Amino acid sequence: MRHNTELLQSYDALTKSVVFVQGNQGISLVDYNKVDLTPIGSGRSAYVFKIRESNRVLKVFYPPFEGIAAKEAEIYQSLKGISFYPALYDYGENYLVIDHIEGLTLFECLVHGKKMNERHVELIDEALGMARERGLNPSDIHLHNIIITPTDEVKLIDVARFRQEKFCTQWEDIKTVFYKYYIKKYFPKKWSARILYFIAALYKKKLLTRFY
């Protein structure tokens, strides 16, 4: 997995250029190498940057989540060769370097009104099945970590929880809603982000089980 020293030092230097600060509202990004990095997203444990003039991204974990980097890297190594998942190029104490995936997440598809179909669901099932064949337990599958590419293929990212022991029902619940509601002609295909986040909050509190 480790490549030449110059490349390693380059990734390491890019990571060291990223500076976070803890504030009243949580972690904030305050500085990074603006020549070589472009911020493209953030989550509950990391910021993601597109590495300019490449098809790779740098995922930098902030305190206290740095240890997730090695765990997620190990999982990506287990998934090596499966086209549904990005390839891992390098990792360090608090970062990963993986493929940059073009496309829209399922969440963005709903916000933009891009229609999803049964083939997408079948491909996601296939991707998760292939992960299970590698001894993993796909968990925490949600609308933000499944991407539909411009060529209408499916990619899955953020695999850190693929070694959880408990059975995760999130993807099965999404599928149930898809077949019970989404594919119906009357069901709206475009939703505001605010409504989707509200629905997600209700789901986490287990207040929606009677509907599916």
- Total count of residues recorded for the chain: 212
Read off the tokens for 94: 């608090």
In order of 79, 100, 127, the CA distances from 135 in angstroms are 10, 25, 13
Instruction: Answer yes or no: 152 catalytic.
Output: no
Q: Which of 51, 21, 16 is nearest to 32 (CA)?
A: 16
Task: Write out the DSSP string of 122-175.
Answer: HHHHHHHHHHHHTT-------TTSEEE-TTS-EEE---TTTT-SSPP-HHHHHH
CB 156, CB 145: distance < 8 Å: yes
3-state secondary structure of 42: strand
**Residue bearing tokens 């360090």:** 92
Could you say which of 36, 140, 158, 173 is catalytic?
Answer: 140
CB 56, CB 97: distance < 8 Å: yes
* Other beta carbons less than 10 A from residue 185's beta carbon: 4
Residues annotated catalytic, as ranges: 140
